Structure 1
Amino acid sequence: MESSANRKKTKIVTTTVWRPVSTQANSSEGNYMSLNDLNEIARRLGFRIEGALKPRPKRHLNLRCMAAAPMIRFIREKENSTWKKIEEEIGVKIIFPPGKKEYITIEGISAECVTTASEKFQILIKEVIKSPALNYTHFVSLPLAIHPQLVEKLFHFQNSILGISSKNEVTCLDDDNNQDTSDEESREIPSDRAHVVAVNLKAEEGNKNPKAGPPRASKSSKLDEKTTALSALGIDKSIFIKPKTFHLTVLMLKLYNKDLVDVAANSLSSKIMHALDGQPVAVRLKGLDCMRGSFAKARVLYAPVEVIGGEDRLLRACQVIIDAFTEAGLVLEKDARQKLKLHATVMNASHRKRNKYSRRADTFDARGIVEQFGSEEWGEYLIREAHLSRRFVYDENGYYQCRVSIPFPEKSE
């Protein structure tokens, strides 16, 4: 037991020591005494330390990595194990933004770890962009919806098939093009007869002669029958292309770096003018055709495109666009190898709005439609510009939001 004299010689010191942290990785080690070392020195000097060392809050460095919002969402949901592994291995925090902001934030205690994590995240982006599960974000389009007379013809085409007659319903069709339709049917019509029923109903609607025969069913019952027939064919309003978005597709893209987009687009205008020999280019649309398979099991129905005066100039201009985006590293290898086929899609089964109970295959029977519109003269139209269009986002006119516009010549030089 200590004597009272000895106890008087012992001084009790309570202290709090803040330990600074350097922003350089591992540079703080060895520059400051540990709690054990400080206690040992105090013991030799006859002091006793009570309390604990409280480290100074660490400084964090933030670095933003830019990426398209759909890609960020895909990485967060589908590649969560990969980005979490980056966090664990390097000791950083990857912060995903709310909403549709186009960046992620990497947070760490040193410039080295933040930079390393950023490099790994960029590698992840390049791997993800090749995934077939990731949707295309943009595409290069040649807008045709800028011609009002063509838009009107497309409305007539859709309304004639769907049995819509009033102007109000026309507007509704365009606005609600991708809404779901009911799978319930009042009665079944064999699929091998459904296309005949649909054509006959169209003919009956145009027959106004009161002497044509005995009284027929009411107009509403005819439309119900026609709707049932169309359902059996796999036709509903969701698979029609919106007239206000009508276009020719040049190239599909998955864009994640806006700076590269600007680099690719900057020099295109003069190159396109050269490819077109400084002359305007127009196309003629006539008839209907099927992209693959048969009209009985169609996936894509389109209006064939004929370039007036020969297609070489327009194809050259399109190839200039494809080459520019390919050289900028924005085109997938498989897309760069594809042969360009200009076509104006009017119906696409992949656009079908579904519910969880729907089991219908992604095809439709287009035979009746081709019987009615197979020789349709859609008209001749000037190609005025090319757009880098953003998918699923529309401007005030109903066309796809434009990221970059590249003018075509409208008058001969």
Structure 2
Amino acid sequence: MSKLMAKSLQGFSIVTAKNKQYRVATASLDAKSTTRSSAPRQEIRHPESQAEEDTELHHWVEHPVSRSMHGYIIGKAGSTLKRIKHETGTRIDVQKGEDFVKIKGTDENIERAKVAIDTLIIAKANPTHFLSIPISSLSVTRKLEEFHKVLESPSFVADGISMDSIAPIPSLHITLGVMKLMGQSEIEAAVRFLKESSANLIHETMTERGITVRLKKLSTMQGHPAKARVLYINVQDESEGKVLDKLCDRLRTQMVEAGLLIDEKRPFKMHITLLKKNSFRSNHNTVKDVNTAEEENNNLEQAHNDDKAWFNASSIMKEFGDLDLSTVTLDSVHIMKMGMNKQGVYKSEGAVVLEK
């Protein structure tokens, strides 16, 4: 890891558990490494069994954990919580209705428990953010509005498509990958990394300011247009340097190595989603238009068994297969929060400009 990368992720380190990498607090790791260097390692006992011996060494601390994640810590019939307590020699109280848990033990054992809890949460949590290149162009907007009018017309027949399936124009973007950022400190660390390490990488890769692309030709994801889940428009690099593919590959690799971007173990597909079967908007005006590889596989399995899991894009492909939304300049890379507002806009946590 470069000095700049280490500086950008100050306060966090990467650990490997079950062949996957996770971010945890460096202070917690320091406590663990200190223990490993001491020999021999003494057996950790649950504090409740030591109460009479070293009560003065134990104290309570509050550790931030979203209440929505409490179930993962508890596990089936309390099995996960029991295991963590046994392995770390601590007492852990899950505070109902609060965004924290209370941990009691020695300083060293409390740090072990924090690492165990944080690693578990990151592994179980759904993605919270995504790395993206937004699309913003008046010409693209006008042409998409015309396209939407046809789709919304009662005379246009396309089985399985509802208005909720159409991506709001302000939300259009190229997704580079998804992220799990657990809390404000991790969001700030990720943004800092993007603005420092990733900005340097972008500067080294770019040949000019911005990348000109043409959005042209519709395609469907996974399978025949008659049973489509995703309809997207292709991205054709028309810039002088033709650096878009290289830039995306380098950014993704850098973010994965830093433990910020989820490595989904599947080829990257450059595209901009225009229609998707599972609704863009929920009842809470949020969106989940980026699937992990596991979710994609689950959705495909569902599609084979559920006629409502796909739409018929044949008529769209026949009439608009060569749709040309004109050219647009890609000018920035953002860390976006999952979930768009009522106007179909994502919240950007931070961004860097695409420039030489």
TM-score range, shorter chain: 0.5 to 0.7
Inter-CA distance 371–342: structure 2 relative to 1 (3 Å threshold): same
Asked if the contact 2:209–2:331 (Cα under 8 Å) also holds between the matched residues in 1, the reply is: no
Report the secondary structure of 1:392's partner residue.
Answer: coil
1:64 corresponding residue in structure 2: 63
- Match of residue 101, structure 2, among 102, 105, 108: 105
Q: What is the letter of the counterpart of residue 264 of structure 1?
A: F
Query: Which one-letter code corresponds to 1:140 in the other structure?
Result: L
SS of the equivalent of 2:309 reads coil
Contact 1:70 1:137 (C-alpha < 8 Å) held by counterparts: no
- Percent of residue pairs bearing the same amino acid type: 22
Are 1:154 and 2:144 an aligned pair? Answer: yes
Separation in structure 1 between the aligned mates of residue 340 and residue 130 of structure 2, nearest angstrom: 12
Residue 348 of structure 1, aligned match among 264, 276, 282: 276
Shift of 1:384: 1.1
Q: Does 2:44 match 1:114?
A: no
Measured in 1, the distance between the counterparts of 2:54 and 2:324 equals 83
The CA distance in 2 between the partners of 1:299 and 1:312, in whole Å, is: 30
RMSD: 3.6
Aligned equivalents of 2:74, 2:52: Cα separation in 1: 37
In the alignment, the residues of structure 2 paired with residue 143 and residue 30 of structure 1 have an alpha-carbon distance, to the nearest angstrom, of 57
**Equivalent of residue 190 in structure 2, options 261, 264, 271:** 261
The SS at the match of 2:261 is coil
CA distance in 2, matches of 1:290, 1:372: 14
Aligned to 2:233: 303
* Cα distance between partner residues in 2 of 1:30 and 1:152: 72
- Residue deviations 1:158-178, cap 9 Å, x none? 232122xxxxxxxxxxxxxxx
TM-score, normalized by length of structure 1? 0.59
**Cα distance, 1:277 vs structure 2:** 2.1
On the 8 A contact 2:74/2:80 being kept in 1, the answer is: no
- Secondary structure class of the residue paired with 1:141: strand
Report if aligned partners of 1:83, 1:121 keep a CA contact under 8 Å in 2.
no
Q: Call closer, same or farther: CA 1:327–1:259 in 2, change over 3 Å.
A: farther
The answer (yes or no) to whether the contact 1:383–1:408 under 8 Å persists in 2 is: yes
Superposed displacement of residue 289, structure 1: 1.1
Q: Where has structure 1 moved over 6 Å in runs of 4 or more? A: 352-355
CA distance in structure 1 between the aligned counterparts of 2:179 and 2:67, rounded to whole angstroms:
13
Tell me how many residue pairs correspond in the alignment: 282
What SS does structure 2 have at the residue aligned with 1:332?
coil
- Pairing 1:371–2:318 present: yes
Partner secondary structure for residue 244 of structure 2: helix
Deviation digits for residues 268-325 of structure 1, max 9, x if unmatched?
1121022112443111011311122111111110111111136841122212321221
CA 1:372–1:141: 2 relative to 1, 3 Å? same
Give the equivalent residue in structure 2 for 1:222: none
Give the C-alpha shift of residue 370 in structure 1: 1.8
Cα offset, 1:27, TM superposition: 8.3
Please show how residues 24-103 of structure 1 align to structure 2 within 5 Å: 26=50, 29=53, 60-65=59-64, 69=66, 72=69, 75=72, 81-87=79-85, 90-96=89-95, 98=97
Q: 1:316 to 1:161 in 2, by over 3 A?
A: same
Change (3 A) 1:239 1:311: farther
The correspondence for 2:308, drawn from 347, 361, 382, is 361
1:397/1:296 CA distance change after superposition, 3 Å: closer
Residue deviations 1:87-136, cap 9 Å, x none?
A: 4774423445747x5xx33331543442232132133235x24xxxx532
In structure 2, do the counterparts of structure 1 residues 272 and 243 end up closer, same or farther at CA, with 3 Å as the change threshold?
same
What is the CA distance between 1:339 and its match in structure 2? Answer: 2.5
Q: Which amino acid aligns with 1:240?
A: I
**1:346 Cα deviation after fit:** 0.4
Higher relative contact order (CA 8 A, sep 6+): 2
1:407, CA displacement in angstroms? 0.8
1:327 corresponds to which of 254, 257, 274: 257
2:177·2:262 contact (CA, 8 Å) conserved in 1? no
Amino acid in structure 1 at the alignment position of 2:150: S
Q: Which amino acid aligns with 1:119?
A: V
Gaps of 5+ in 1: 1-22, 32-55, 164-197, 203-228
What letter is aligned with 1:150?
V
Scaled by the length of structure 2, what TM-score is found? 0.67
Aligned match of 1:243: 169
Q: Which residue of 1 aligns with 2:127?
A: 136
